[in-house]
Amino acid sequence: MNVTELDERVWAAHSDAWQAEGRLRTPLGGGATELPGVRLMASGLPHGRWNSGDVTDPARIDLDVVRAWYAARAGGAGVPWGLRAPPGTRIADGRLLFRKRCMALLPDRVATVKPPPSVEIRTAGPADVEAVVRVDSAAFGDAVDDTRGWVEPHLDAPGFTVALAESDGQAVGAATAIATDDRAGRCVGIFGVGVLEGARHRGIGGALTSWLLERAFAAGATLAHLNPDTDAAARLYARLGFVETVGLDVFVDFYASR
């Protein structure tokens, strides 16, 4: 597999964003740390997709130390977790679940997408939490309480921007940008682009993404990255200028060593 500097930068930027999530959630039982061969984050929430690490050197990882770190999260209750790694990485334990797709965008290649005439996009704040939760839980099929625990800390956190799309005063879409200036330099990750079913196919998802990108690049980001979960999403982001890069393998089920 031919891995480019852009691929490696996207992997680092993806890890930077998850480290930012972990630091944000330290008071909530989460956290972020770096151990030999791996960067870890935890949300404090009892779901593996929101507790994860990025492999930097598989030969140096001590999985027992990683297990102990996650066992101490959430006030000692522990949380389920997984690891992401470049394709072809060999890890002594764990089960390969799937390959996460990655896409990247440089500032000089971005295409602007405006919302439909009846839709306005603005920054969501703490007072909008129930509107954002309603959109996210419906768009992604998660329980309302789980969604609230994930999205609420974003709404007043430095480096995090939640965009809310409204039609006739009702929330119909939401998306989150995470600005980082870490291993990969000044980057922005776009996550959780969700639109209510009745408002889809109107360009709202693309407009939300474009709105966040415009502000992030104006603030100095030099790379945007995201993870399409369907071919349709990848085509939408390609219209904005994103290109597909090498993805990341996701491993789970790191059971205690015997």
C-alpha span between 155 and 163 (Å, rounded): 10
Question: What is the dihedral angle through the alpha carbons of 228, 85, 67, 20, rounded to the nearest 10 degrees?
Answer: -50
Indicate the helix (H) or strand (E) that contains 164. strand 160-167
Q: Whole-number mean pLDDT of the chain? A: 96
Whether 180 and 189 have beta carbons less than 8 Å apart is answered as yes
3-state helix, strand, coil in the chain (%, to 5): 40, 30, 30
3-state secondary structure 52-116: EEEECCHHHCCHHHHHHHHHCCHHHCCCCCEEEECCCCCCCCCEEEEEEEEEEECHHHCCCCCCC
pLDDT recorded at residue 57 = 96
| Dihedral pair phi/psi, residue 25, rounded to 5° | -100, 10
Q: What is the CA radius of gyration of the chain?
A: 18
Q: What is the pLDDT of residue 92?
A: 80
Burial per residue of 167-188, b for 16 or more beta-carbon CB atoms within 10 angstroms, e otherwise:
beeebbbbbbbbbbeebbebbb
Name every residue whose Cβ is closer than 8 Å to that of residue 84 and which is 6 or more positions away in sequence.
Answer: 14, 15, 52, 53, 54, 55, 100, 248, 249, 250, 251
Whether the per-residue pLDDT at 250 is higher than 70: the answer is: yes
Which residues, 6+ apart, have CB-to-CB distance to 55 below 8 Å? 37, 38, 61, 83, 84, 85, 86, 89, 91
pLDDT of residue 258: 39
CA–CA separation, 69 vs 71, rounded Å? 5
- Listed in order, the ranges of the chain carrying CATH 3.40.630.30 are 105-246
Q: In CATH, what is the architecture of 105-246?
A: 3-Layer(aba) Sandwich (3.40)
Measured in Å, how far apart are the chain's first and last C-alpha atoms?
34
Percent of the chain with pLDDT over 90: 95
Q: What is the pLDDT of residues 212-242, one digit of tens each?
A: 999 999 999 999 999 999 999 999 999 999 9
Residue-wise pLDDT for 82-140, tens only, equals 999 999 998 888 999 999 999 999 999 999 999 999 999 999 999 999 999 999 999 99
CB contact set of 4 (below 8 Å; sequence gap of 6+): 245, 246
